[in-house]
Amino acid sequence: MNLSDFTHSAYIAGLLGGLLIGIAAALFVLLNGRIAGISGILAGLLQADKGDKTWRVLFLLGMAAAPYVYQIASDLPPVTIEAGTAQLIIAGLLVGLGTSYASGCTSGHGVCGISRGSIRSIAATLTFMMAGIITVYLTRHLIGL
């Protein structure tokens, strides 16, 4: 891979997107004193005893606005969802249950938790990455889903 491949590639896009995610997480903790963890923000809406619904709804509305704001500048990048309906339903249940038990997902543990040096978040991130890698290996290379 030469340099021009790199600069025009998914690596730069990944880095730029990552920096933006980091800026978002930084703004949230510095101004609101909170972790920008998407699973936690969603789960908090389902718990009747959590009185702080307004900022959660606004955060999610901001996320929901993102594809429309992006489209002002450019077409949305193509999205390919290979999983079928049954697979998506099972995966969704596992992600909902798993992130609830683990108190976080890729954003809360993977970005915010590792950024603040939390041992729990480092362990969680290593665990879900390994589980994801093994799952893809089994489904793609052994079963052929």
Partner 1 sequence: MLNLNAFVVGLLFGLGLIISGMTDPSKVIGFLDLAGAWDPSLAFVMGGAILVGAGAFTVAKKRQRSLLGAPMQLSSATELDKGLLIGSLIFGIGWGLSGFCPGPAVVSAAAGQPKAWIFVASMLAGMALYVMIDRRGK
Beta-carbon contacts of 88 under 8 Å, excluding residues fewer than 6 positions away, are 81
Q: With CA atoms as reference, report the closest residue to 25 among 122, 110, 124, 136.
A: 110
Give yes or no for residue 8 binding partner 1 (CB under 8 A). no
Nearer to partner 1 among residue 3 and residue 81 (C-beta): 81
Q: Kindly write out the interface string for residues 41-80 of this chain, putting x where it contacts partner 1 by CB under 8 A and - elsewhere.
A: -xx--xx------xxx-xxxxxxxxxxxxx-----xxxxx
Tell me how crowded residue 26 is: count the other CB atoms within 10 A of its CB.
13
Number of residues near partner 1 (by CB under 8 A): 106
List 3, 4, 8, 88, residue binding partner 1 (CB under 8 A): 88
Q: Please, which of residues 89-128 interact with partner 1 by CB under 8 A?
A: 89-103, 105-107, 109-112, 114-120, 123-125, 127-128
Alpha carbon 144 to its chain's center: 26
Residues 45/57, Cβ–Cβ less than 8 Å: yes
Q: Please, which of residues 10-29 interact with partner 1 by CB under 8 A?
A: 10-11, 13-29
